[in-house]
Every structure is written in C-alpha cells, then in structure tokens.
Amino acid sequence: MTRPPARRITAGTLLALGCLTAAALPAATAQGAERLPHDTGKGLGRGCVVVWFDLGETLVHTAEDGSIRYMPGAATHLRALRARHIPVGLITNVPSSWGNTDAERAAELKKVVDKDWKDSRPFAWSDFGDRILTPRTEAERKPAAALWERARDTSRGCRLVYQAETNDEIRASSSLGFVSYLVGRPYWPAFMPVPLIAALGHLPRRL
C-alpha cells in the first residue's frame, strides 16, 4: 500500500507550531529548550522525533479494584503516532529488584500489567519494542535524571518529547532538553497533538 505524500511544511507553519509548543509547555524553560540535541539526519522515524511516556496515570489507569485500562485517549494517541511511524518509548519507575536488565524488568512489568488488564483493547507493548527504560537502582527512580539521560542517549540525536501527569517529571525532563507535555489538564488536549509532534523534528534550532 502506497503512503500518501507528505504535506509541505512552510516556515510560517513551523513558526506557528513553535509558538504553540511554547504556549503548551508551561514547565519547559528556555534553558531546557536550548539543550535539545542536534539533529543528525540518522534518527528514528520521519522527522526525527521520539516520544517518551510515563506509564501509570499517563497511558494506563489503575482502578480501585486493581483493574488496569487505557487512560482516555491513550489508545487513539498511540495509534496516531504509529500511523506516522513516530517511535515511542516508556520511562517508568518499577522496583529495581525486578531484574538485572531493562529487558528483564520490562518483562516483569508486562506480566504485572497484563495480569490485571481489563480494557477491550490489548496494551500496545509492541509499539515500544526495547524502548522501555526502568531504574537499575532505586537511586535512578524518577524524578532523578538518570532515565531521561539514558533515553536521550538512545535516541540518536532526534528531538525528544516526554508526556506525563506530574509536574515534577515535566520540570525534570524539560531541564534535560525534552519537549515536555503535562497530560490530563482541563481544556487542553489529553495528549500533545500528533501533527505538532511530527513537526517538531522540522523546527529550526532558533525561531
């Protein structure tokens, strides 16, 4: 199946999107924005942008009875990112005792989530591949910088987005150069709009 031609992105569009990004990210500082990694042309996905998420109460919700489901809009958001071939990853706190590697801890996380999963749609684990980062020690637990630094190191120079529901994680990730979005705010989109995410990889370094 052939893909539809990409829409042309004009300088005016980029400027408008840049202004919208600044307005949508009250926790991101100008200092943090200046520390965005340089594009290398070798990044993952078109537009060279990688979207990282917190998990609990960002993508999934645990109810009082212990059942786990998608947060409102989360499945649709992931599907829209998938349609644009935008890579996604998870940065989530789990006990460091769950394994000696990210892969081992991710496998245990999947077991825990799947055991109590009650949504009609399965969680999209395959979208994240091996981009599931978890603390190697308790000292690495968010909001410590370690997990975001590791995400930055694996993203091959792409622009980085981080979406979460807590202000402390938004502040911490912004200070490390991520374009950060606080989910779940009244009167705002549940998640950062996907066209804006796609355009971030094309924004000039300075507007």
Contacts of 136 (CB under 8 A, 6+ apart): 96, 102, 146
Mean pLDDT on 144-149? 98
pLDDT digits (tens, 9 = 90+) for 49-88: 999 999 999 999 999 999 999 999 999 999 999 999 999 9
pLDDT for the residue 203: 67
Q: Which residue has the tokens 């395959």?
A: 126
**What is the per-residue pLDDT for 22?**
42
Exposure b/e, 1-38, CB count within 10 A at least 16 = b: eeeeeeeebeeeebeebbeebeebbebbeeebbeebbe
- Flag whether pLDDT at 145 surpasses 80: yes
Per-residue pLDDT at 4 exceeds 80: no
d(CA 120, CA 118): 6
The residue that leads in pLDDT, 188 or 14, is: 188
> What is the model's pTM?
0.79
Angle at 27 between CA 138 and CA 177, to 5 degrees: 65
Check residue 157 and give its pLDDT: 82
Residue 171 near residue 27 (C-beta atoms within 8 A): yes
Q: What's the rounded mean pLDDT across residues 14-40?
A: 38
Give me the pLDDT at residue 63, please.
Answer: 97
Distances (CA, A) of 79 to 28, 75, 88, 173, 189: 26, 6, 11, 24, 16
Average pLDDT score, the chain: 82
**Sequence spans of domains, the chain:** 31-200
Instruction: Please tell me the CATH code under which domain 31-200 is placed.
Output: 3.40.50.1000
Q: Calculate what percentage of the chain has a pLDDT beyond 90.
A: 71
Query: At residue 23, does pLDDT exceed 60?
Result: no
| Confidence (pLDDT) at 100 | 97
**Model pLDDT, residue 155:** 84
Cα torsion at 64, 185, 13, 175 (round to 10°)?
A: -90
- 185-204 pLDDT per residue, tens: 999 999 999 999 999 977 65
Least confident residue range of 3-7, 14-18, 75-79 = 3-7
> Above 70 in pLDDT, residue 119?
yes
